[in-house]
A and B are shown apart, each in its own frame.
Chain A
């Protein structure tokens, strides 16, 4: 069985003289979540729309599982589920009916449809609303149904364009859990987002795009290591109790630690040289010191730091 894949080959899109996407070359393969980051107007949604044939590329090709989308939309999208922007559902339909339509269009066997739809709606926590008309739903509720529709046929490739738009914090957390569970089921998720902490939490790799051009595509750790000001080698340590200067000094004296800065009485930020193996060793060393460490994590600003370094403009 081949791994799920998406590929952009010299993909460009122009609106008149405005280049919305310039020569994008990107191949993503395997079961993973890839965050697609960039400022407003960078070309993220444009890329996803080309992959779903909602717009046509000016040049280049978009392929899903090796099948070029534009000339073979039906075949290419057979193995893909997509949520692009925030679609509206016919207001007089119920989620059951809207999802039945998708199920029929995607060829779900008749005998499985009812259970599949009920499971999908339960997964997005909308089971109580299954037979209510969509017209009465809030934006967040509709978005949950849209997510259920995108995942209904258990696609190998999932394309999500800012899937947590309109959702409340609980809804966002639930979507993150859904994406995590998809990764475990050997799915490829390509997801655009403005929420860096969301991407940092659930994605394995990131692709950053600006002014229609791909800036970087790599694993999350490599990207933050290469492009954040601290080289990604920053860890915040939290303690159960206030710590004294001696603890600070001891940590600063550990091998590869460049600095240990006390952020507050119970928190230290260390900068170190080396990558993940050194980070692992430092964690082990500090645990051995038995000084009441309760948390050891990279500051969430690592990806933000990288983003701000790579992307200078907001438009």
Chain B
């Protein structure tokens, strides 16, 4: 034992990430999510191939917009729930944390390592989904891939980072895996959307505080020209359709990530393995 030098925390983060990924790649969860992503892509492929909807076929940009609209954010949210929902709470509930925590490494190394593992697994999902979309796009429109697609994928990655920051934060709040997964799923699949609709329709303010509002930039980028906030009707019947700008969207997603990542890390640092 003497004379041995402990690895740096950065190196330990890499070790945690590596074995987290080994665990993911062998788990049923990874393949279930992969299959879900492939099924969504396959359904789109068949439907577009069979019906050739005019909205899809008018231009390559519209093709990618319609392909991504709704589906890419769904894949990102599913990845967040699958990989982040119980990432930390599971360490307490399943007692796997007892195996790691009693070793000479900072808890932050565990948290960051697990987060990077979840991000890598989610990026693989996103890459598979995007590759199938591009495959279809190339089939119909050739290699003329609009630059907005790459911007959209980049924003998708930012959204994924923010979602994983958020899900890890919620995961560190609970000691029960099922509760943390359930709360995260309800928030992303229902609550945020509902709140956004209510805020826009009833309170009539821009929902800048919602992560799902910031995520609009992922698909809005694929609209030419980029949509802006617009109001229809007059007086009390006026309805404003809010559209986040790119700087706003980046700011919202980045803030969500930074705040939830710091809070999640602080909670995990202080949480006790009782």
Q: Footprint of B on A, CB under 8 Å?
A: 15, 49, 52-56, 73-80, 82-90, 92-93, 97-98, 100-102, 104-109, 133, 146, 149-150, 153-156
Please report the C-alpha to C-alpha distance between residue A238 and residue B105 in the assembled complex, in whole angstroms. Answer: 53
Partner of B4, one of A54, A80, A108: A108
Within 8 A of A (CB), among B84-102: 94-102
The residues of A that contact B272 with a CB separation of less than 8 Å are: 49, 54-56
B52 in the interface (beta carbon within 8 A): no
Q: Which of B18-26, B127-135, B213-221, B223-231 contacts A (4 or more CB under 8 A)?
A: B18-26
Assess the B96–A88 pair: CB atoms within 8 A.
Answer: yes
Task: Give me 10 A-to-B residue pairs in the complex whose CB atoms sit less than 8 angstroms apart, sorted by A's number.
Answer: A54-B102, A55-B272, A76-B104, A78-B6, A78-B104, A105-B16, A108-B4, A133-B26, A149-B99, A153-B1
Please report the C-alpha to C-alpha distance between residue A154 and residue B101 in the assembled complex, in whole angstroms. Answer: 18
Assess the A86–B95 pair: CB atoms within 8 A.
Answer: yes
Please report the C-alpha to C-alpha distance between residue A150 and residue B100 in the assembled complex, in whole angstroms. Answer: 11
Please report the C-alpha to C-alpha distance between residue A156 and residue B12 in the assembled complex, in whole angstroms. Answer: 22
Assess the B96–A74 pair: CB atoms within 8 A.
Answer: no
Closest A residue to B274 by CB, please name it.
Answer: A55
The residues of B that contact A49 with a CB separation of less than 8 Å are: 272-274
Please report the C-alpha to C-alpha distance between residue A93 and residue B4 in the assembled complex, in whole angstroms. Answer: 26
Please report the C-alpha to C-alpha distance between residue A93 and residue B1 in the assembled complex, in whole angstroms. Answer: 25
Assess the A73–B4 pair: CB atoms within 8 A.
Answer: no
The residues of A that contact B146 with a CB separation of less than 8 Å are: none
Assess the A88–B98 pair: CB atoms within 8 A.
Answer: yes
The residues of B that contact A76 with a CB separation of less than 8 Å are: 104
Interface size on B, residues (CB 8 A): 32
Closest A residue to B94 by CB, please name it.
Answer: A88
Assess the B26–A106 pair: CB atoms within 8 A.
Answer: no
The residues of A that contact B99 with a CB separation of less than 8 Å are: 87-89, 98, 146, 149
The residues of A that contact B95 with a CB separation of less than 8 Å are: 85-88
Closest B residue to A89 by CB, please name it.
Answer: B99
Within 8 A of A (CB), among B133-172: none
Closest A residue to B93 by CB, please name it.
Answer: A88
Within 8 A of A (CB), among B8-54: 9, 12, 15-16, 18-19, 22-23, 26-27
The residues of A that contact B237 with a CB separation of less than 8 Å are: none
Please report the C-alpha to C-alpha distance between residue A77 and residue B272 in the assembled complex, in whole angstroms. Answer: 17
Closest B residue to A50 by CB, please name it.
Answer: B272
The residues of B that contact A54 with a CB separation of less than 8 Å are: 98, 101-102, 272-273
The residues of A that contact B18 with a CB separation of less than 8 Å are: 101
B232 in the interface (beta carbon within 8 A): no
B106 in the interface (beta carbon within 8 A): yes
B202 in the interface (beta carbon within 8 A): no
Q: 5 more A-B contacts (CB under 8 A) besides A15-B274, A85-B98, A88-B95?
A: A74-B105, A87-B98, A105-B105, A150-B102, A154-B1
The residues of A that contact B22 with a CB separation of less than 8 Å are: 92-93, 97
Most chain A CB atoms below 10 A, which of B6, B9, B94, B102? B102
Please report the C-alpha to C-alpha distance between residue A90 and residue B23 in the assembled complex, in whole angstroms. Answer: 7
Query: Shortest distance in angstroms between A61's beta carbon and chain B's nearest beta carbon?
Result: 17
The residues of A that contact B105 with a CB separation of less than 8 Å are: 74, 105
Partner of B101, one of A52, A78, A146: A52
Assess the A155–B101 pair: CB atoms within 8 A.
Answer: no
Please report the C-alpha to C-alpha distance between residue A237 and residue B164 in the assembled complex, in whole angstroms. Answer: 69
The residues of A that contact B104 with a CB separation of less than 8 Å are: 73-78, 80, 105-106
Closest A residue to B104 by CB, please name it.
Answer: A77
B70 in the interface (beta carbon within 8 A): no
Query: Shortest distance in angstroms between A157's beta carbon and chain B's nearest beta carbon?
Result: 10
Please report the C-alpha to C-alpha distance between residue A88 and residue B19 in the assembled complex, in whole angstroms. Answer: 15
The residues of B that contact A100 with a CB separation of less than 8 Å are: 19
Known A74-B6, A92-B27: A105·B101 in contact at CB below 8 Å: no
Assess the B15–A105 pair: CB atoms within 8 A.
Answer: yes
Assess the B103–A102 pair: CB atoms within 8 A.
Answer: yes
Please report the C-alpha to C-alpha distance between residue A4 and residue B273 in the assembled complex, in whole angstroms. Answer: 26
Query: Shortest distance in angstroms between B240's beta carbon and chain A's nearest beta carbon?
Result: 49
Q: Which 8 A-B residue pairings sit nearest by Cβ, starting from the closest? A: A87-B98, A92-B26, A77-B104, A87-B99, A54-B273, A82-B102, A55-B272, A52-B102
Assess the A97–B19 pair: CB atoms within 8 A.
Answer: yes
Query: Shortest distance in angstroms between A98's beta carbon and chain B's nearest beta carbon?
Result: 7
Please report the C-alpha to C-alpha distance between residue A92 and residue B105 in the assembled complex, in whole angstroms. Answer: 23
The residues of A that contact B12 with a CB separation of less than 8 Å are: 104-105
Closest B residue to A90 by CB, please name it.
Answer: B23
The residues of B that contact A83 with a CB separation of less than 8 Å are: 102
Please report the C-alpha to C-alpha distance between residue A80 and residue B99 in the assembled complex, in whole angstroms. Answer: 14
